[in-house]
Structure 1
Amino acid sequence: MSRKQSTVRELRLEPKLASVEFARVAVTDLWTEDSGPIEKMIEKAASGARANGAGCLVLGCMSMAFRLVGRDLSRVPLPVINPLSTAIKTAETFVDLKIGHSRVTYPAADFEKLNQTVFGRIQSK
């Protein structure tokens, strides 16, 4: 079992995960002038995911997410969830609703402990 499969199982997401598709491209290659090959990789990954029963494609690479912001992906056979756009919209929603994250899930920071790390050295400069 791969590390990814193990993580999916630990998080109890196996019933919701239809497929994991890999782009097999170096991050540096994502930033060439021509984005056509990237869009073709997305189309291929989405086709594979759809064949396995997926209802959407979630990008797992933030470099790809940044590169694809604002791109027309209407030819892709599944909705593409861009984690960058999703994170920004989630933050905007929290601000609009005047809510924050759960203190049960994310307790307040322990500043005394943080000051003993690299953050303490940064703050004192």
Structure 2
Amino acid sequence: MTTGPGHERWICYQLVAPMERVLGTAEIERRRDFLQTHADARTRIEVRSAAAGYPSIESERDAVAVSPHIVAGLREAAAQGASAGIVGCFSDPALDAVRESVRMPVVGPGQSSVMLALQLGERFSILSPLDSAVKRHTPRLRAMGVAERLASIRGVGVSVVDLARRANDAMDRIVTVAQRCVEEDGADVLVMGCMSMAFMGIVRPLADRLGLPVVSPVLAALKTAEILLDMGLSHARTAWPEPPEKPYLA
């Protein structure tokens, strides 16, 4: 496995959109730099764009359409010697399929950040770009067995792409909705339910302003992947068995 000088391992962060066509290659580099800044000194980060897909994931249609490219991207990274993979979306699209397909640990930001939030308070709220996320996230949280600890899922009324472009009023909208999660819903921990929101770098200012923990799915996924590598752990094959070989009929 080639990692470069000073690095013992590399983590592939798989984007879920053809980012160079949506926001440009500079945004891919910015996200890589953000991850690399927060990574362990032994870790090299590589960010890979999806071969095709919608500009963002805001529905099940969007998630299903890009899933084959997520699987293909992380399978290729594993074959090239990646130590671990991250699915770059809070919805964790194709996470189960990728875990069936590779032996390296693969982490979902949604799963990672929610599990971290449970250790920081009794009830958590998810800040999502749009209100439509309530219908999409609730069944996943029930399946994870954490629905009883969920205070609310609230949309901030800004699309994923506009968050990535740092819409002028995005921070004010996020603060307003976050305060409602605390004051009206009883949350004592907040989870950013969008990677573009988390890549804005506002987690600490928001936490300071509200006086409670705010979990970044970007950093939760990165640090979970690093912990798994430190401990020599990966997902159980009994839980995600390797699919039988068969022809794919195009």
TM-score w.r.t. length of structure 1: 0.70
- Compute the RMSD of aligned alpha carbons: 2.9
CA contact (8 A) 1:43 1:77 kept: no
Q: Does 1:85 align with 2:219?
A: yes
Q: In structure 1, which of residues 40, 51, 55 is the aligned counterpart of residue 172 of structure 2?
A: 40
Matched, 1:105 2:239: yes
Cα distance in structure 1, aligned partners of 2:165 and 2:135 = 30
More helix by share: 1
Kindly tell me: are residues 21 and 78 of structure 1, through their superposed partners in 2, closer, same or farther at Cα, counting changes over 3 Å? Answer: farther
> What is the rounded CA distance, in whole Å, between the counterparts of 2:212 and 2:153 in structure 1?
14
SS at match of 1:91: helix
Task: State the partner residue of 1:49.
Answer: 181
Q: Residue 10 and residue 70 in structure 1: after superposition, are their counterparts in 2 closer, same or farther (change >3 A)? A: closer
- Distance verdict in 2 for CA 1:31–1:14, change over 3 Å: closer
CA displacement 1:14-66 (0-9 Å, x = unmatched): 321111211111222223356x6333223222211112111211111122122
Contact 1:46 1:77 in 2 (8 A): no
Specify the code of the residue in structure 2 equivalent to 1:16: R
Distance in 2 separating the partners of 1:38 and 1:81? 18
Letter in 2 for 1:99: L
Asked if the contact 2:138–2:147 (Cα under 8 Å) also holds between the matched residues in 1, the reply is no
Q: How many residues align?
A: 114
Q: List gaps (5 residues or longer) in structure 1.
A: 119-125
Partner Cα distance (1:69, 1:112) in 2: 45
* Equivalent residues of 2:192, 2:216 under 8 A apart: yes
Give yes or no for contact 1:42–1:76 (8 Å, CA) kept in 2: no
Cα-to-partner distance string for 1:51-89 (whole Å, 9 max, x where unaligned): 211121111112212223776332134311111111111
| Secondary structure of residue in 2 paired with 1:68 | coil
Contact 1:46–1:78 (CA<8 Å) still a contact in 2?
A: no
Q: Which has the larger radius of gyration?
A: 1
Which residue number corresponds to residue 76 of structure 1?
210
